[in-house]
């Protein structure tokens, strides 16, 4: 059974994951409105992934005797200056999520809740992958000029990556 403290922190993370879903859907909408269809699909898939993360936490809290508690979600930003800015914002968001997961891991260890510690290792690995992917995308954006043809090329490249990752 989860402690009250850990249940509260896991519920807080459920809401952070919900915030990520809404943020990535808004990012998808912004990209679509600018004609960046590949990037729009990328962010839509990211939103789906974050929903799965939320549901996994939700299920864990339930199966360990806790009560998942959903809270209010603030509206996300709705515009960005460029594709680079939106991917930089995404990286910063994922770095924040990584820190939140680390707090959960630390709490589980402090409470000697090794089952929850073990459960959270999947999230630690997932965050490592997310940050690595975003660093790689930003590197590609920086390699290509951000003017006209460059944005088209970035969008096409991200679309290709999205299709490849979605098939795996």
Question: Is the CA virtual torsion 135, 136, 139, 141 positive or negative?
Answer: negative
Q: Is 160 exposed, middle or buried (0-12, 13-18, 19+ CB in 10 A)?
A: exposed
The pLDDT tens digits for 132-152 are 999 999 988 887 755 556 766
Strand positions, DSSP E, 82-165: none
Per CATH, domain 4-167 is 2.40.340.10: no
Coil/strand/helix, residue 138: helix
Could you give the angle at the alpha carbon of 17 between the alpha carbons of 139 and 114, nearest 5°? 100
CA 66, CA 6: separation in Å to the nearest integer?
10
Q: Quick check: 162 pLDDT over 90?
A: no
Say what the pLDDT of residue 166 is.
65
The full set of domain ranges for the chain reads 4-167
Q: Is 30 exposed, middle or buried (0-12, 13-18, 19+ CB in 10 A)?
A: buried
DSSP 4-22: HHHHHHHHHHHHHHHHHHH
Q: Is the pTM of this model over 0.75?
A: yes
The pLDDT tens digits for 61-87 are 999 999 999 999 999 999 999 999 999
Q: Quick check: 155 pLDDT over 90?
A: no
């Amino acid at each position: 059974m989860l402690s009250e403290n850990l249940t509260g922190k896991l519920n807080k993370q459920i809401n952070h994951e919900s915030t990520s879903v809404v943020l990535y859907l808004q990012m998808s909408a912004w990209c679509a409105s600018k004609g960046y269809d590949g990037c729009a699909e990328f962010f839509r898939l990211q939103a789906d992934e974050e929903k799965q993360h939320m549901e996994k936490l939700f299920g864990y809290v339930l199966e360990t005797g806790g009560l998942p508690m959903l809270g209010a979600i603030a509206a996300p930003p709705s515009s960005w200056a460029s594709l680079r800015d939106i991917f930089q914002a995404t990286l910063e968001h994922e770095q924040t999520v990584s820190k939140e997961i680390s707090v959960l891991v630390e709490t589980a260890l402090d409470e000697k809740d090794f089952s929850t510690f073990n459960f959270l290792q999947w999230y630690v690995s997932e965050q490592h992958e997310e940050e690595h992917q975003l660093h790689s995308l930003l590197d590609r954006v920086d390699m290509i000029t951000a003017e006209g043809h460059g944005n088209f090329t970035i969008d096409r490249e991200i679309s290709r990556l999205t299709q490849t990752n979605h098939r795996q």
